[in-house]
Amino acid sequence: MKIYVPLDSAAVALGADDVAAAITSYAAKAGISVEIVRNGSRGMVWLEPLVEIEDAQGRRAFGPLSPADVPALLEGTLKSLGRVEDIAFFARQTRLTFARCGLIDPLDLTSYAAHGGLGGLKRALSMTAQQTVEEVTASGLRGRGGAGFPTGLKWETVRSAQASQKYIVCNADEGDSGTFADRMLMEGDPFSLIEGMVIAGLAVGATRGYVYLRSEYPVAIRVMRAAVDIARENALLGEDILGTGTAFDVDIRVGAGAYVCGEETALLNSLEGKRGTVRAKPPLPALHGFMGQPTVVNNVISLATIPVIFEHGAAHYAAFGIGRSKGTVTLQLAGNVKYGGLFEAGFGMTLGDVVTDIGGGTATGKPVKAVQVGGPLGAFMRPDKFETPIGYEEFDNAGGLIGHAGLTVFDDSADMGALAQFAMEFCAIESCGKCTPCRIGSTRGVETIARIRNGDHAAIPLLEDLCDTMRDGSLCALGGFTPYPVLSALNGWPQDFGVTTAEVTQ
């Protein structure tokens, strides 16, 4: 009997290791032969630990499972959820980047190849560097880390730069609250990230790559390190990639977890052993990046999507989505939501469909009051904006941003004034201190929001002016985007600040 028990951090936090141990123990006592495979997560966090049994009917799901359920599971009397592919939350997805996550043993390279892995790399190895970049450009892929910058344009800048050494740096410093796609991918399908980095190296002429992870991700660090070792042993990394004589290698580097190190220039400083502070731009990292050399800095999801593009072709990938938002988006549903987890689908679903239909509304059953999209620096969206399609330009026109595609749901008990103050406090605590608008502005912002909430309504224009200064004058998105949650809360729910709509709009 083959049994899949996830090793994903969320599943482990909910008892997956205890369930695996209970299965081993009970099977030994009962004389039942079992093979336990520790897979990644299928992304349905409310069902974790989600255990699957493979038999003639396919992979039947059971969850959430506890050690007490193990006897019934192994004796065949526990009610199943049915096949994973038939669970509504899963069946409605278009899984491209996450196609293998949860399906295979993340450290089984043979299984990875049997499920489409390495097909993209083999095709890229038959192409010139320029053709490789053109394929990425034609796919319409934009950076999934938050900025949405065209990946092909960034790669072309690095490819055309003249330098003796170039680098690929994977930004795996996933620090936004309510986001977990990077971690889930690294824990569930690490070879897709490695394959994507190798293709990036081929495209721009880089021979070295680094994955910069945060220390709060111990499972992802362990899986990625093991995957790199396996990749080297099997010529997926090293001096002779798949016997072609092409060189590329990857190292795993662990940061201490400062939020600002998710910003690409602060990350590069940290990677070089310096304090993680933001660099002024220009020069761009594409021309003056790691160790002063041309460097591609891409997010985990961006790089892990590259093999999909080369396996199926740019046109196939670009056929999903809307407008300039091509391909799929990996939505992460968190907060007060009934069905939390990762949902991959083509761009274009409305925010309301995601929150109420896919997510099932709030976990408490109360009405949805707000959804913060894009992590702690994203705007709070009211239900009257639920018709907004999930797309970069569409969200920008609605006063929001997609960011890393994390959605945090709040019910009608949420105090938006307190959440706005928290957003400014978060910026004050996490600021690297390099620029004045962020360092000083956030501290004054905390004080000004407190003044408003304590009845000093004359401070409203001061807060708005302060937010304008932070947005226009900060060196990076931490200071520049903090006004999004603050002003969207103030304008959307003035009553939670003790003021009227007329006072806000004066």
| In contact, 32 and 74? CB cutoff 8 Å | yes
The tokens 């900025």 sit on which residue?
Answer: 147
Beta strands in 151-248 (DSSP E): 167-172, 208-214
Sheet with strand 295-299: strands edge to edge: 249-255, 208-214, 167-172, 295-299
**Residues 352 and 365 placed together within one structural domain of the fold:** yes
- Choosing from 411, 446, 462, the residue where a domain stops is 411
Residue 80's CATH number: 3.40.30
Q: How far apart are CA 506 and CA 502, in angstroms?
A: 6
The tokens 């994507």 sit on which residue?
Answer: 196
Structure tokens at 440: 């000083």
CA atoms 420, 426, 428, 434: torsion sign = negative
Q: Is 273 left (phi over 0), alpha (psi -120 to 50) or beta?
A: left
Structure tokens at 374: 């894009």
Exposed e or buried b per residue across 443-480, where buried means at least 16 C-beta atoms within 10 angstroms of its C-beta: bbbbebbebbbeeebebbebbbebbebbbeebbbbbbb
- Choosing from 411, 440, 465, the residue where a domain stops is 411
| In contact, 296 and 155? CB cutoff 8 Å | yes
**Residues 73 and 164 placed together within one structural domain of the fold:** no
| In contact, 300 and 224? CB cutoff 8 Å | no
57: buried, middle or exposed (CB in 10 Å: 19+, 13-18, 0-12)?
A: exposed
* Coil, strand or helix at 60: strand
Q: How far apart are CA 134 and CA 189, in angstroms?
A: 26
Q: Has residue 443 been placed in a domain?
A: yes
Q: How far apart are CA 156 and CA 59, in angstroms?
A: 43
Longest dimension (CA), the chain: 76
The alpha-carbon radius of gyration of the chain (Å, integer) is 23
**Residues 406 and 437 placed together within one structural domain of the fold:** no
The tokens 């689908």 sit on which residue?
Answer: 345
Q: How far apart are CA 311 and CA 121, in angstroms?
A: 8
| In contact, 290 and 212? CB cutoff 8 Å | no
**Residues 346 and 312 placed together within one structural domain of the fold:** no
Q: For every one of its 506 residues, what pLDDT tens digit does the chain have, with 9 covering 90 and above?
A: 999 999 999 999 999 999 999 999 999 999 999 999 999 999 999 999 999 999 888 899 999 999 999 999 999 999 999 999 999 999 999 999 999 999 999 999 999 999 999 999 999 999 999 999 999 999 999 999 888 899 999 999 999 999 999 999 999 999 988 999 999 999 999 999 999 999 999 999 999 999 999 999 999 999 999 999 999 999 999 999 999 999 999 999 999 989 999 999 999 999 999 999 999 999 999 999 999 999 999 999 999 999 999 999 999 999 999 999 999 999 999 999 999 999 999 999 999 999 999 999 999 999 999 999 998 999 999 999 999 999 999 999 999 999 999 999 999 999 999 999 999 999 999 999 999 999 999 999 999 999 999 999 999 999 999 999 999 999 999 999 999 999 999 999 999 999 988 888 65
The reported pTM is 0.95
**Residues 331 and 429 placed together within one structural domain of the fold:** no
**Residues 308 and 329 placed together within one structural domain of the fold:** no
**Residues 115 and 140 placed together within one structural domain of the fold:** yes
Structure tokens at 210: 């680094």
Residue 498's CATH number: 1.20.1440.230
Beta strands in 271-312 (DSSP E): 295-299
Q: Has residue 94 been placed in a domain?
A: no
Residue 126's CATH number: 3.40.50.11540
Q: Which residues contact 16 (CB under 8 A, 6 or more apart)?
A: 5, 6, 7, 8, 48, 49
CB atoms within 10 A of CB 100: 22
| In contact, 432 and 382? CB cutoff 8 Å | no
Q: How far apart are CA 288 and CA 360, in angstroms?
A: 46
Query: Range of 305's domain?
Result: 109-318
Q: Has residue 143 been placed in a domain?
A: yes
**Residues 186 and 310 placed together within one structural domain of the fold:** yes
Q: Has residue 96 been placed in a domain?
A: no
Exposed e or buried b per residue across 8-18, where buried means at least 16 C-beta atoms within 10 angstroms of its C-beta: bbbbbebbbbe
- Choosing from 350, 385, 411, the residue where a domain stops is 411
Q: How far apart are CA 311 and CA 301, in angstroms?
A: 16
Q: Has residue 264 been placed in a domain?
A: yes
Exposed e or buried b per residue across 120-147, where buried means at least 16 C-beta atoms within 10 angstroms of its C-beta: bbebbbebebeebbbbbbbbbbbbbbbb
Cis peptide, bond prior to residue 6, ω within 30 of zero: no
Q: Has residue 261 been placed in a domain?
A: yes
CA atoms 354, 358, 359, 364: torsion sign = positive
For residue range 402-420, what is the model confidence (pLDDT) as tens digits? 999 999 999 999 999 999 9
Alpha-carbon 249 to chain mean position: 24
**Residues 314 and 328 placed together within one structural domain of the fold:** no
Structure tokens at 140: 């319409």
> What does the pLDDT read at residue 248?
98
**Residues 159 and 277 placed together within one structural domain of the fold:** yes
**Residues 238 and 377 placed together within one structural domain of the fold:** no
Q: How far apart are CA 190 and CA 224, in angstroms?
A: 6
Structure tokens at 402: 């997609």
Q: Has residue 95 been placed in a domain?
A: no
* Coil, strand or helix at 248: strand
| Number of structural domains found in the chain | 4
> What does the pLDDT read at residue 506?
58
For residue range 460-499, what is the model confidence (pLDDT) as tens digits? 999 999 999 999 999 999 999 999 999 999 999 999 999 9
**Residues 72 and 132 placed together within one structural domain of the fold:** no
Q: Has residue 104 been placed in a domain?
A: no
Residue 357's CATH number: 3.10.20.600
